[in-house]
């Protein structure tokens, strides 16, 4: 699978490029797959573990979980800047994956709300550290014309891990009932295996001897870089006007379309569609341009919102519509946006460029959750969803206009 340690990026292959992605991309996909098995097997059991065996109130867990979003943003930007400054994206990613692996072991020894909270915060920090450097490594190992496909392959492998994780957790707990320590240990081992693949099979980007060092000024200059700024702004606006998954699932439940016990299956369905479409839509983005695919991914949400608004009694059809739309949305946006950020950022500060765009989207989505919650409380769910749907429909052409001309760089 990762036979090619020495991966030579094919440079200057326009358009469709070669039909296969490089060994480095497959290695990074394997790293993400193993790490997602590790983190999702823990995420799947954490609510039960905390409430049933530690006696922590679920509401306290929600607070613990939400508290560290802010620090995660700072860590993400800081780590990306440092990765660029010292030209060490791989070292930064190793640090992030390593920290998360340590945290899984930490769960074995941690008991009590404060300790668990600290471990989960460190785990999030690790995720913040690694995401942008990893995407920069994917970009560096792929031909410019094949970025969409490379990110598609990576995201498909990543999602496979996210789907396998809960299955591993359930199987393990059936075999060793109540043995959460063994589960955390197995999770840590998956994380260590991912780390080992990263260390062994992903090369650090080597620089031509005598190349001038990257200056902090170049990193901060990104904020003034027009293409990057435009993509970040577009990502933030689109993120803000997108109803988060949690709320979309909740709206399905409010309509009686799905029982709460089957809630996890909504996530499985969304991830399944994402998994199937990540590569085809990534390739489509390589062929027709990233921006149209990105916008089409958001447009795919509109029928789902319409269905939730106008067909509240459609039952399973509504579930299929919403889950399918969310899957298409992720497949058309997550990897595609990373590819867009990677190709628009100056090469020396690519990690920071990717981090900036991803942070903007994350900030938009966080604000979206708060805004939607406020609107829901103030005026009820129907007006809240209608407002989001109309705003997204209006924003899409505006964003299309604001991103005009970017294709020149992509082609």
Partner 1 sequence: MTGDRGRAAPARRRLLVFLAVVALCVGGTVTYLLVQRQGDVEAAAAAAADEAGRERLAVADVQAVPHVVVRSTEPGPSSGSVALVPLDDPAGPRAVLDLACDRVAAARGAAVCLQTLPGIVPAYRAVFLDGEYRETGSADLPGLPSRARVSAEGSYAATTVFVTGHAYTDAQFSTETVVTDLRDGDPTPLGNLESWTATWADGTRVDAEDRNFWGVSFVGDGPGFYATLGTGGARHLVRGDADERTLTVVAEDGACPSVSPDGSTVVMKETDPVSRAAVLTAYDVSTGERTRMAEGRAVDDQVAWWGDRVLYGVGSGLADSGAADVWVADPLGGGQPAILVPDASSPSVVLPGN
Q: Which stretch binds partner 1 (CB under 8 A): 131-139, 196-204, 313-321, 403-411?
A: 196-204
Residues with Cβ within 8 Å of 34's Cβ and at least 6 positions away in sequence, in order, are 161, 190, 191, 193, 194, 197
Q: Which of 97, 151, 201, 330 binds partner 1 (CB under 8 A)?
A: 201
Select 108 or 276, whichever has its Cβ closest to partner 1: 108
State the minimum distance, in angstroms, from the CB of residue 394 to partner 1: 26
Examine residue 59 and tell whether it contacts partner 1 (CB under 8 A).
Answer: yes
Residue 101 touches partner 1, criterion: CB under 8 A: no
Residue 180 engages partner 1 in binding (rule: CB under 8 A)? yes
C-alpha torsion angle, residues 37, 324, 336, 6 (rounded to 10): 40
Asked whether the beta carbons of 309 and 277 are under 8 A apart, the reply is no
CA max distance for the chain: 67
| Under rule CB under 8 A, residue 329 binds partner 1 | no
- What's the alpha-carbon Rg for the chain, to the nearest Å? 21
Please state, in angstroms and rounded to a whole number, the distance separating the CA atoms of residues 53 and 331.
Answer: 37
Give the separation between CA 145 and CA 157, rounded to whole angstroms. 21
* Distance in angstroms (rounded) separating the CA atoms of residues 30 and 87: 23
46 makes contact with partner 1 (CB under 8 A): yes
Which of 11, 12, 58, 408 touches partner 1 (CB under 8 A)?
58
Rank residues 176 and 394 by Cβ distance to partner 1 and give the closer one.
176
Under the binding rule (CB under 8 A), the answer on residue 182 touching partner 1 is: yes
Residue 89 CA to residue 93 CA, distance in Å, equals: 6
Of 47-55, 77-85, 280-288, 387-395, the window that binds partner 1 (rule: CB under 8 A) is 47-55
13, 121, 164, 203: which one contacts partner 1 (CB under 8 A)?
203
Residue 265 as a binder of partner 1 (CB under 8 A): the answer is yes
Q: Does 336 bind partner 1 (CB under 8 A)?
A: no
Residue with tokens 């996530």: 267
Q: Is 10 in the site for partner 1 (CB under 8 A)?
A: no
For residue 402 the two structure tokens come to: 């604001």
**Residue 402 in contact with partner 1, rule: CB under 8 A:** no
Q: Is 1 in the site for partner 1 (CB under 8 A)?
A: no
Residue 135 found at the interface with partner 1 (CB under 8 A): no
Examine residue 250 and tell whether it contacts partner 1 (CB under 8 A): yes
Site size toward partner 1 (CB under 8 A) is 67
Query: CB of 290: closest distance to partner 1 in angstroms?
Result: 25
Tokens 């010292």 label which residue?
86
254 is a contact residue toward partner 1 (CB under 8 A): no
Output the smallest distance, CB 85 to partner 1, in A: 22
Which residue lies nearer to partner 1 by CB, 227 or 327?
A: 327
Which conformational region is residue 149 in: left (phi greater than 0), alpha (psi within -120 to 50 degrees), or beta? alpha
Report how far apart, in Å, the C-alpha atoms of 72 and of each of 66, 67, 116, 128, 399 are.
11, 10, 17, 6, 27
Q: Please give the Cα distance from 50 to 370 (Å, whole number).
A: 25
Listed in sequence order, the DSSP H helices in 243-349 are 245-254, 263-288, 290-299, 301-310, 316-344
The yes or no reply on residue 121 touching partner 1 (CB under 8 A) is: no
Cα separation, 334 vs 284, in Å, equals: 14
**Contacting residues toward partner 1, per CB under 8 A:** 5-8, 40, 43-44, 46-49, 51-55, 58-59, 61-62, 65-66, 111, 162, 167, 170, 172, 174-182, 185-186, 189, 192-193, 196-197, 199-201, 203, 206, 244-247, 249-250, 259-267, 369, 373, 376-377
């Amino acid at each position: 699978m990762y036979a090619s340690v020495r991966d030579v990026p094919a440079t200057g292959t326009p358009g469709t490029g070669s039909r296969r992605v490089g060994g480095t991309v497959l290695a990074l996909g394997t790293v993400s797959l193993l790490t997602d098995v590790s983190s999702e097997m823990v995420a799947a059991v954490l609510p039960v573990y905390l409430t049933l065996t530690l006696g922590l109130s679920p509401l306290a867990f929600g607070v613990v979980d939400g508290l560290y979003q802010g620090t995660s943003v700072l860590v993400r930007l800081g780590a990306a800047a440092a990765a660029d400054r010292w030209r060490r994206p791989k070292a930064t990613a190793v640090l992030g994956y390593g920290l998360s692996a340590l945290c899984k072991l930490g769960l074995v020894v941690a008991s009590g709300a404060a300790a668990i909270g600290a471990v989960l915060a460190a785990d999030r920090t690790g995720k913040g550290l690694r995401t942008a450097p990893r995407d920069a490594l994917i970009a560096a190992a792929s031909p410019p014309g094949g970025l969409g496909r490379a990110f598609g392959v990576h995201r498909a492998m990543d999602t496979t891990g996210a789907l396998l994780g809960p299955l591993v957790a359930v199987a393990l707990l059936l075999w060793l009932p109540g043995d959460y320590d063994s589960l955390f240990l197995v999770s840590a081992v998956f994380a260590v295996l991912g780390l080992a693949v990263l260390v062994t099979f992903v090369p650090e980007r080597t620089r031509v001897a005598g190349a001038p060092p990257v200056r902090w000024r170049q990193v901060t200059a990104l904020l003034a870089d027009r293409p990057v700024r435009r993509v970040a702004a577009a990502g933030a606006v689109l993120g803000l006007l997108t109803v988060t998954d949690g709320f979309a699932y909740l709206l399905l439940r409010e309509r009686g379309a799905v029982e709460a016990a089957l809630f996890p299956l909504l996530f499985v369905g969304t991830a399944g569609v994402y998994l199937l479409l990540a590569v085809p839509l990534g390739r489509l983005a390589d062929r027709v341009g990233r921006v149209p695919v990105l916008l089409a991914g958001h447009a795919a949400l509109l029928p789902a919102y319409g269905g939730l608004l106008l067909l509240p009694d459609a039952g399973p059809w509504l579930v299929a519509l919403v889950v399918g739309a969310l899957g298409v949305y992720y497949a058309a946006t997550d990897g595609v946006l990373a590819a867009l950020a990677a190709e628009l950022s100056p090469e020396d500060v690519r990690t920071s460029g990717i981090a900036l765009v991803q942070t903007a989207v994350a900030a938009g989505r966080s604000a979206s959750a708060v805004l939607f919650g406020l609107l829901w409380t103030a005026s009820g769910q129907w007006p809240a969803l209608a407002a989001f749907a109309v705003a997204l429909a209006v924003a899409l052409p505006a964003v299309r206009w604001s991103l005009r001309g970017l294709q020149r760089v992509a082609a």
